[in-house]
Amino acid sequence: MRLFKRLDFWLIAGFILAFFFILPFVPVIDGDTFYYIGKARRILATGDLFNSQVLMTKPVLGLWFMALSLKIFGLNLFGVYFWHTIFAAASLCLLYYFTRQHFDRRTALYSSAILLTSLMFFYQTASPMLDIPMLFFLLLGQILVLEYLQTEKPRYLYSLGLAAGLGFLTKGLLPAALPFLTAGVYLLVTRRERVWRAGFPRQFGRLAAAGLIFLAVCSVWLIPQFQNHGVKFGAALYSENIERFFHPIDKTGGYREVSSGVQIDPHLNILYLWLGFLPWSPLIVPALHAAYRNKYFNRRPEILFMLCWFFLALFLTSVSGHYKGPRYLLPLFPPLSVLCGAFLTSSAANKYAKIISLSFFWTGFVLAGLALALPFIKYTHGERVYLPVVLPFLIYFTLSLFRAAWLFRQNSGLRHTLYRTLASYIILFVCAAILLPGVQFPERYANPQTRTLK
C-alpha cells in the first residue's frame, strides 16, 4: 500500500509510538523535572495558582499545564509527560505549517522530520520541563514577525504581542525578546531594500499597541508576585532573566562553573550544537553555506530571516556566561531545521554530496570511539546505571551514521537516516523502561540512580 511508503505516515507513527506509548514507561531522570513536579503539586495542594507565598522567579504557564495534566491523569508518568508531548507535537505542526506556506510540502516534511529526530529536541521532548513549551511560543513569535514584515498586516503584530506575553509566562525573557531582536537584525540587513507602506508614526503606534498587549498578558503573573514580595521579586526576576546569562551564578555538581567574570565560549557552543543536532550535524555547514549564497533558493527572504535568527541566537548564547549544554541551544534548532530541509530539497545538496558523506563518516567514527570508551570510564556518582541503557542506542545510532555516509554520497540518505534514527530512539526508551530503577517522588534523589520517577 502507498500509505506505508509515505514518509509522513512513518514520522507520525514513530512520534505516537515513542511519546504516547513508550514514554509512559520510561522513568524521569532529569532533576529539573522533579522541581517542576513539586511546584505543580503545590498548586494543586494549596489552590494558589501563582505559588505567591514563596518567592519564585520561574513563570507559571508551564506549571499550570503540568498541574492540569497531573489533576486529570494523576501523579504518574503519563500525567507528567502528556502536556509536554502535546507542546512538542504542536511545535512540529507549527514548523510544518510555516514551511509548507513559504516553501512546499516536501521541504516542510523534511524540515519537520529533521527537527523531530534531532537528538536534543527528541531528548528534551522526553524531559518534561519548560524548554519545549518555550520553543513553541518562540517559534510562533518568529513566524508572526516574518508574516508582519512581509505583509504589514497589523493583526500579526498584535498577535506577536500575545505570543511574546505567553512566551514570557512560560520561560521568561528569551522567547519574548528574541522575535523582536531577530526582526531588528533582519531590518538592519535589508535596510536598502525595505520600503514601508505604512509610515513611521503608524508603525510606532502598532508597536506600542503590541507592547501593551504583551504587558497585559505578563501582568497576570507579575502583579500578584510584586504585591506579595515587592522589590525582592524584581531583583530576583532581573537575576533570573538578565544576570544569570552574563554571570556564572548557576551551580553544577555542587560547585560554581566559573568563579567570577564573564564566560565567552563559542567553541563550546559549536560542540554542543554539533552534539545536540545529531544525526543531522553533517548538514549544518553545507546548509549554512548554501543559504548564505542563497542563489539555490531564488533569493528567498525567508532564508535570510532564518539566517538572522540562527546567528543571532548563536551569538547571544556564545557571549553568555551561564552554564550551558545542548538544551540551551534549542532556539537555534527550528531555523536550522528549515535551512537543512530547504537545502536537501534544492539542487544545492548534489554539489555538497562528498563533503556531507565525509562528515557523516567522521562523526560516526568519533561516536564509535566514545561507545568503545564508555565501559572503561571510572564513574564516581552512580552513572554506570545508565550504561546498559545508552550503549545499545549509541551502537545502533553510530551504525546509522556510517550507513548515512554511504547513502548521502549517492544523494539518497535522508529517508533511511530518519527511519534508523527513530528506531535508535525507540531502542533507547525501551532499554530505559526495562533497565532503569525507579522510586516514587518525592524520595531523595541525591544520586542519579535514586532520583527517577517510575
pLDDT in tens, 60-95: 899 999 999 999 998 888 999 999 999 999 999 999
Is residue 450 pLDDT above 50, yes or no?
no
Assigned C-alpha cell, 408: 548521502
- pLDDT score recorded for residue 248: 54
Question: pLDDT category, 446, cuts 50, 70, 90?
Answer: very low
Is residue 363 pLDDT above 60, yes or no?
yes
Is residue 254 pLDDT above 60, yes or no?
no
Question: pLDDT category, 338, cuts 50, 70, 90?
Answer: very high
Asked if the structure places residue 182 within a domain, the reply is yes
* Residue among 183, 112, 180 at smallest CA distance from 336: 112
Asked if the structure places residue 124 within a domain, the reply is yes
- pLDDT score recorded for residue 321: 56
Q: 437 vs 111, which has greater pLDDT?
A: 111
Pick from 208, 234, 265: which residue ends a domain? 265
* Alpha-helical segments (H) within 152-199: 154-171, 173-189
Q: Do residues 222 and 109 share a domain?
A: yes
Pick from 231, 246, 265: which residue ends a domain? 265
370-386: average pLDDT: 81
Q: Do residues 358 and 242 share a domain?
A: no
Q: What is the tally of structural domains in the chain?
A: 2
- Domain membership of residue 255 as a residue range: 20-265
Q: Do residues 260 and 356 share a domain?
A: no
Q: Do residues 229 and 378 share a domain?
A: no
Asked if the structure places residue 334 within a domain, the reply is no
Asked if the structure places residue 326 within a domain, the reply is no
The Cα–Cα gap between 34 and 227 comes to: 28
- pLDDT score recorded for residue 322: 56
Q: Do residues 86 and 208 share a domain?
A: yes
* Residue among 130, 138, 134 at smallest CA distance from 63: 130
The Cα–Cα gap between 60 and 239 comes to: 17
453: helix, strand or coil: strand
Asked if the structure places residue 118 within a domain, the reply is yes
434-448: average pLDDT: 52
| Burial track 334-362 (b if 16+ CB lie within 10 A, e otherwise) | bbbbbbbbbbbbbebbeebeeebbebbbe
Q: Do residues 261 and 356 share a domain?
A: no
Q: Do residues 257 and 375 share a domain?
A: no
* Residue among 214, 66, 56, 63 at smallest CA distance from 144: 214
* Residue among 44, 298, 312 at smallest CA distance from 182: 312
Asked if the structure places residue 275 within a domain, the reply is no
Q: Do residues 73 and 201 share a domain?
A: yes
* Range in 195-209, 358-372, 414-428, 435-449 the model is least confident about: 435-449
Q: Do residues 225 and 79 share a domain?
A: yes
Report the share of the chain in percent with pLDDT over 90. Answer: 40
* Range in 100-109, 173-182, 320-329, 435-444 the model is least confident about: 435-444
Q: Do residues 122 and 253 share a domain?
A: yes
* Range in 68-82, 174-188, 260-274, 336-350 the model is least confident about: 260-274
Pick from 240, 265, 290: which residue ends a domain? 265
Q: 395 vs 320, which has greater pLDDT?
A: 395
Maximum mean pLDDT: which of 305-309, 347-351, 386-390: 305-309
Q: Give tens-digit pLDDT for 196-239.
A: 666 677 878 889 999 999 999 998 888 888 877 778 877 877 77
- pLDDT score recorded for residue 296: 63
33-60: average pLDDT: 81
Beta carbons of 341 and 99 less than 8 angstroms apart: yes
- pLDDT score recorded for residue 260: 40
Asked if the structure places residue 72 within a domain, the reply is yes
- pLDDT score recorded for residue 264: 52
Question: pLDDT category, 266, cuts 50, 70, 90?
Answer: low
Question: pLDDT category, 246, cuts 50, 70, 90?
Answer: low
- pLDDT score recorded for residue 350: 80
Asked if the structure places residue 303 within a domain, the reply is no
Mean pLDDT of all residues in the chain? 83
- pLDDT score recorded for residue 107: 92
Q: Do residues 362 and 255 share a domain?
A: no
Phi-psi region of 47 (alpha: psi -120 to 50; beta: other; left: phi over 0): left
- pLDDT score recorded for residue 377: 84
